[in-house]
Structure formats: structure tokens, C-alpha cells
Amino acid sequence: MTTQEIVSRLWNLCTVLWHDGITYHQYVTELTYILFLKMAKETKTEAQIPESFRWDDLKEKHGIELKNFYKRLLDYLGQHGTGRVREIYQGAATNIDEPKNLEKIIRSIDELDWYSAQEEGFGDLYEGLLEKNAGEKKSGAGQYFTPRVLIDVMVRLMKPQPGEKCNDPACGTFGFMIAADKYVRNHTHDYFDLSADAAEFQATEAFSGCELVHDTHRLALMNAMLHGIEGPITLGDTLSNVGMGMKGYDLVLTNPPFGTKKGGERAMRTDFTYPTSNKQFNFLQHIYRSLKHGGRAAVVLPDNVLFDSGNSGPQIRVDLMDKCNLHTILRLPTGIFYAQGVKTNVLFFSRGSTDKGNTKEVWFYDLRTNMPSFGKTSPLKKEHFADFEAAYEAADRRAVQDERWSVFTREEIAAKADSLDLGLIRDDSVLDYEDLPDPIESGEECIAQLEEAVDLLKSVVKELQSLTRAEA
């Protein structure tokens, strides 16, 4: 049984919980509680789980006894577990009311081909579940999930290195950091090329994140653990004072949430130079301030960050271009995120050694205009990024022959009121009025043509009249 088949089997179990009124997102959370126990048994790491609260203890129970034991297990592990166990189960509570439904899920999980799952990797299995969850519109989880192909492109271009501190300040289920970890592993023979201390650093310090939503934070912890990552994943709001200590990073990879701050949310950071209620502008400020000198970032942001003239937008863009070299902006296609119609971009930049004049020019690549329609049934693929990656990594960017690739100097950007809403090519699907003939000129031309036709008719009539007289 392949990982994909196991993911499908696990996902189909969600129908069992519909009658309990459990949402897709709650279902994945419930699976996380149960899968953790099963995977600990399969990987022989149950020592981290207190005795009497392990997989075999759970599966031998039935009916009401099972339901009560499961509730007690969640509470006990959340209070008395250690390390990641306690973090994953902290505040855990079940939404399953019907004991038969709980029992069916446990039995179904126990009967799966776990040998095959372990061979292919439990981490890949869990990520498959998270992707399924994000793909369901009803789950509302798409906001926590960036398409894998886009994550991989950003990681390949940023090239995380051993010994670097990497961070995602809005980490969702930890996808960016897991991809960065895989990249480093693939370039170091799964860390075997590193010293023991360097390998330990990779496992425990190299990759970190912060997530605001408790259930999503729990999924991130599980995802990280299944990929052998023990770095800190903070439960909190990066845009509150919690985020003030998050700095000194070599690399930031992230897709922060979009929107504006609403009443009743956590207190705003007190260290932002340009306070605003716009979350994406605040995340942008946090990210470039969190980089060490020479640190770099790739960040997904919506179009309004490029042109918004309110919310301190122009000042923040200027501050970014002063403190960092904003060298590349990728204009992404629409339809690649689960929220349809959202227009987004990836901003690539690196922190300068000074705080002024670091951006001399910005290169743009338009992957949006005249592109196919992307969606769930026609997803964006690796090959769609091939030309962009070639242009991005070209030794001489000016030698690249690609109409989608353009550059604007800092002076040209300043002349456009520091707007970065640039680099889009001509859209062939949009009627350009400049292409239409001038109505006045067209009218005059028509009149002239009519006059010529009238003159021609007159001459024909005269010819006919003369022929008629001749015959008479």
C-alpha cells in the first residue's frame, strides 16, 4: 500500500464523523492525536509517552470506556507529557461524541499497512493529509497551506545552507521549514557529511517558526516531529510583542496571512517604525528587520503591498528598499491559492550591511499575464517556473531574452511614487482601445468611400443612359 493510498483511506474515514458534526479541520486534529500514538508504537519511540497511555492501551478499550479513556488520555498527556508530547496535546479536547465512531477510526488506523508507510516516510503521509485538508474548501485550511510547487521553487532559489538559522514567522503547518530541511539534507547526504555538532544544530536549532492558531500549531509540531525537526515552534502572534525577540536569521521563508487587524486582537508590536492595521505590511516590516546583515528572504505577499498608498505603504516600501536589496519580484498567477482570485507575488530580498540605498534596481518576472487558468483540476507545476528560475539565476540578467523579464531602476520606481506595481506584460485577452481606429478618422474615411461609390454609380448610370439612346 502506497502513502497516497493510505492518505486516501485515512481521509475517507472523515465520513464517519460527519454525524458528530465534526469539520474537516477538526478531523485532521483528531487524527493527529490518534496517529501520534500509533506512529510512536511503529517507530519504537513510545518511551516519550507515559505508560498506560500508549497505543495498545487505547485500542483495547470499547464503547463508553473507550470514550472516557480517550478524554482522560488527552488531558493527561497535555498536562504530564514531556517535550513535544506535551506541546502536541496541550489543551487537547475531542469533538467525537459517539464511541462507535471513535472505535472505528482506531480500528481502521490499526489495520493499515504501516510497514509500507514507514518505508515511504511518516512525514510524507502526514503532509499528504494536510494537503488534503487544505484542498477542501469547506475546511477553511487553505489559508495555512502554500502550494508545494511554490514552496519548492522558493527554497531552491534561496538555497538554505548548513549552519544557517531559518525561520517562518507565520509557519502554518511548517511546510516551508520542512522543505528547507529537505533541501539541506539532500545536499549533505542526510546530514552525514556534517559533524555531530553541526547535525545536532540542524535538528534542534536551524529551523523555527511561530503560529498563532492553536490547532494549526499542533499540526506544525506533529509535522516537524515526523520529519526529525526539533527546532522551536512558538505558539503566539508574531505581530505582538512575542515577535520582538525573533531576529538574527540567515533566511526567512513565509506566506503570512492577509487582512487587517480587527478590534479585540492582541496588542500591536511597539517596535515598528511604521505602525499600521495592515497585517501584511506589518509582517513585511518584521521580516526585513528580523534578518541579520546579509540575511535573505522570499516572501509571498498580495498585490496591494506593491501599490497601496495608505497604511504607510510608500514609507514601508522605501524602508525595505533602503535596508535591503529588493532584487526580484515574481508576479504569481491567480488561482494557485485556495482562495480564488487572490493576486500575489513573491518578493526576494537580502539585508544590506547599512540601512540606506541598498536597492539599485528591481527585476520583475510576470508569471501572471497570458497564462493558463490554474485551479484544483489544473494545478501549477514545476515546469511553469522553469523560465523564471533560469532568468533569476542568470549570471547576466540583462542578457536574458524573455518578454516576461524586465527591470526598473530605483529612480524609475521613485518617479512612480514608490509603487512596485510594475513588470506586467501586455494582456492579449484585454481589448486595448489604443488598437481601435480613431472614430473621427474612420468616419471621414467612410464618407470618402461613400462619395467614391456614389460617383461610380453616377458614371454607371450615365453609361447605361447613353447605351439606351444609341439603341433607340
Q: Which of 123-137, 176-190, 410-424 has the lowest mean pLDDT?
A: 123-137
Residue 320: pLDDT above 70? yes
Give 411's pLDDT tier (boundaries 50, 70, 90): very high
What pLDDT score was predicted for residue 139? 46
What is the distance between the alpha carbons of residues 4 and 11, in angstroms, rounded to a whole number?
A: 10
Q: Which of 109-118, 146-155, 330-339 has the lowest mean pLDDT?
A: 109-118
Q: Residue 327's beta-bridge partner residues?
A: none
Contact between 153 and 177 under an 8 Å Cβ cutoff? The reply is no
What pLDDT score was predicted for residue 133? 76
pLDDT tens digits, residue range 184-211? 999 999 999 999 999 999 999 999 999 9
What is the distance between the alpha carbons of residues 84 and 67, in angstroms, rounded to a whole number?
A: 24
What pLDDT score was predicted for residue 6? 81
What pLDDT score was predicted for residue 138? 47
Residue burial 248-282, b: 16+ Cβ < 10 Å; e: rest: ebbbbbbbbebeeeeeeeeebbeebebebebbbbb
Q: Which of 163-177, 350-364, 379-393, 419-433 has the lowest mean pLDDT?
A: 419-433
Task: Read off the pLDDT of each residue in 52-72 and give the average, rounded to a whole number.
Answer: 95
What pLDDT score was predicted for residue 180? 98
Residue 145: pLDDT above 70? no
What pLDDT score was predicted for residue 136? 66
Contact between 137 and 338 under an 8 Å Cβ cutoff? The reply is yes
pLDDT tens digits, residue range 29-49? 888 899 889 988 888 888 889
What is the distance between the alpha carbons of residues 224 and 178, in angstroms, rounded to a whole number?
A: 7
- Strands of 277-412, DSSP E: 291-302, 324-331, 344-351, 361-366, 405-409
Amino acid in position 194: L
Contact between 392 and 157 under an 8 Å Cβ cutoff? The reply is yes
Task: Give the global pTM.
Answer: 0.85
Burial class (CB within 10 angstroms; exposed 0-12, middle 13-18, buried 19+) of 469 = exposed
What pLDDT score was predicted for residue 141? 47
Closest to 26 measured CA to CA, from 96, 87, 77:
96
What is the distance between the alpha carbons of residues 280 and 286, in angstroms, rounded to a whole number?
A: 10
What pLDDT score was predicted for residue 430? 64
